[in-house]
Amino acid sequence: MLQINDVHAGYGSLKILRGINMQVPAGEIVTLLGGNGTGKSTLLKAVSGLLPLMEGEVLFDGVDISKMKPHRRMRLGLVQVTQAKEAYPAMTVEENLVLGAYTRRDRAGTLADLEWVYEFFPVLRERRKQLSGTLSGGEVQMLVIGRGLMAKPKMLMLDEPSAALAPKVVLEIFANINRIAKTGVTVLVVEQNVRMALILAQYGYIIRDGVIMIEGEAKKLISDPAVKDSFLGGSVANTSRALRN
Amino acid sequence: MGFDYNSLLAFIIFGVTIGVVYGIVALGISLIYSGLDIVHFAHGEMYMFGAFFGLVLAHNVGIPYPIALIGAMIMTAILGMVVERVFYRRLTRAGGGYTVAGMGMIICGFGMSVALVNVAYFIWGAEAEPFRANLDYIPRLTFPGDIKVPESYVLTAIISVALMAALHYFLRHTKTGLAVRAVAHNKDIAYLMGINVPLMISLIFGLACGLAAAAGVLIGPMQSVQVEMGYLMLMKAFAAAVVGGFGSLPGAIIGGIMVGVFENLGAAYISPSHKDIYAFLLLILVLMFKPSGLLGVEAKVKA
């Protein structure tokens, strides 16, 4: 569904991505892992169009979107869920969700999806008249994911959904991402929480200094000593069991 | 001689009326500031052009005043959008967007102000032109104490309030208004919501310039229309915007009314020949006690 071919990008004369190749097949969950400052967010910006490419191309559904403005890419169904801190704090929860459906013209479908998002995240329904600046970290994360769903995406890209959240909340968020994927939405999760992300995803890429270091099936990456050395800690089995519950 | 409450009331009524006009110009300045993070120094010239467009439409073309008002708003909105698109937006490419274009944008605004004044000289000349509007169908209001309010003041108050209400409705209750607010807060996220950000920026500019034009056409029948009129209006609208809290839309209106009333009272009870100073006196007083303005927030919170 998403194909990234030899993408170079950066800010001004500073090149951050140096030839990224990635693929996200339709219906799968793929994760992109890496620490701070490795180029994860830059890649997301390059794919969503906020940052122009220096070289390479990005294909979505077989269409070359490399030169498209961000709002055009979004209208094709390629939706980026922003980081949680980037909800609009001065708007209510419901306004934020309606904004997610900004490009849609079908009123009935939009309202139905609003209901659907509220069923997905009941806490958002309780808080719908509240300003989103007053929500807790986990609630805001649910809000930005819900806002992404309101666009009726073919593919969702999530920017560190576990950032700054308590482990229990992370688990809940990831379980929800899994539910979303089951409805047929392709998912790309950018994460630092390697263990959780690899349990969730089918395929993983590990980025460092603007290049993909390791890639492979998520199951294999979890037990790959090279990955383990750089990232993993704690018990995979525990998290895995908890996710299924 | 006892204190004349009736004339005090009259000064306040006239102050409020002229103040709402300052308010709608300030509203445009605030709208551009909160939306695009630039302080638009050529906004007074948009007001001046609006007044001239209104004058041309009403006198030379001969269409009725209310329609000339709408026509002038549309023409000035287009002028503003063209100026923004052709000149200001070019600067944002080098600076990486409106937020950081900063100083260059301010200089560009000043330059645009001078350029527009000279274009206006070229077209309309230096003479002040009276704006005679046929307003006989507007009732004269008589307040208790036999204060008569001229038609043009009544009309000004009505139209200004209607414009403010329309803007409020647009921003709070329409989907496009929601998109404008989203762009004002953060352009990158707005893009990710699928909002056509460049189009919304044009819209914000057009709205702000249209409001300034309305002010120009409304002031026209009270004073006369001339090329240099923009400068003083810009200063007063700035004072109004800052008094109310820069970037706050309700603040702009409240600030405008305060400046209008303060100015009229100062002219009446202190000295009429220094009328234009009082706005700044008020500005200094407010900033001494509340530096962020009456309704301003300490700093704009960005994600």
> A95 CB near a chain B CB, below 8 Å?
yes
pTM, two decimal places: 0.83
**Residue A144 confidence (pLDDT):** 92
DSSP per-residue string spanning A169-210: HHHHHHHHHHHHHHTT-EEEEEES-HHHHHHH-SEEEEEETT
> B197 CB near a chain A CB, below 8 Å?
yes
Instruction: Determine the distance from the C-alpha atom of residue B228 to the mean position of all C-alpha atoms in its chain, rounded to a whole number.
Output: 16
Judged against a pLDDT cut of 80, whether residue A137 lies above it is answered with yes
Residues A206 and A194: their CA atoms lie apart, in Å, by: 9
Question: HSE (CB half, 13 Å, CA atoms) of B4?
Answer: 13
**Best CA proximity match to B24, nearest among B259, B222, B182:** B259
One pLDDT digit (tens) per residue for chain B, 303 residues: 457 778 888 888 889 999 999 999 999 999 998 887 788 899 999 999 999 999 999 888 888 888 999 999 999 999 999 999 888 888 776 544 555 556 777 888 889 999 999 999 999 988 888 887 766 666 777 777 677 777 778 888 889 989 999 999 999 889 899 999 898 888 888 888 889 988 999 999 999 999 999 999 998 888 888 888 999 999 999 999 999 888 788 889 999 999 999 999 998 888 888 888 888 889 899 888 888 888 876 544 433
Residues B167 and B242: their CA atoms lie apart, in Å, by: 20
Segments making up each domain of chain A, as ranges: 2-77+153-244, 83-152
The answer to whether residues A152 and A109 touch, using CB atoms and an 8 Å cutoff, is yes
Residues B223 and B221: their CA atoms lie apart, in Å, by: 6
Scanning every residue of chain B, which has its alpha carbon at the shortest distance from the alpha carbon of A48?
Answer: B192
Token digits of residue A28: 């799968």
**Residue B300 confidence (pLDDT):** 45
Q: Does 3.10.20.340 match the CATH number of domain A2-77+153-244?
A: no
**Residue B93 confidence (pLDDT):** 64
> Which run of H or of E encompasses A71?
helix A70-75
Token digits of residue B40: 């638009």
> B103 CB near a chain A CB, below 8 Å?
no
**Residue A237 confidence (pLDDT):** 53
> A79 CB near a chain B CB, below 8 Å?
yes
Segments making up each domain of chain B, as ranges: 28-124+178-222, 228-303
Residue reference for tokens 């769903």: A149
| CA-to-CA dists, residue A153 to A1, A98, B79, angstroms | 12, 14, 38
> B173 CB near a chain A CB, below 8 Å?
no
Contact between chains at B192 and A91 (C-beta distance less than 8 A): no
Sign, CA torsion B209/B211/B215/B216: positive
Q: What is the mean pLDDT of residues A15-39?
A: 89
Q: Which residues of A touch B178 (CB under 8 A)?
A: 91, 95, 98-99, 102
Token digits of residue B64: 């009725």
Q: Which of A49, A85, A99 has the CB atom closest to B193's CB atom?
A: A99
**Best CA proximity match to A96, nearest among A70, A117, A69, A119:** A117
The answer to whether residues B27 and B95 touch, using CB atoms and an 8 Å cutoff, is no
Contact between chains at A102 and B191 (C-beta distance less than 8 A): no
The answer to whether residues B213 and B263 touch, using CB atoms and an 8 Å cutoff, is no
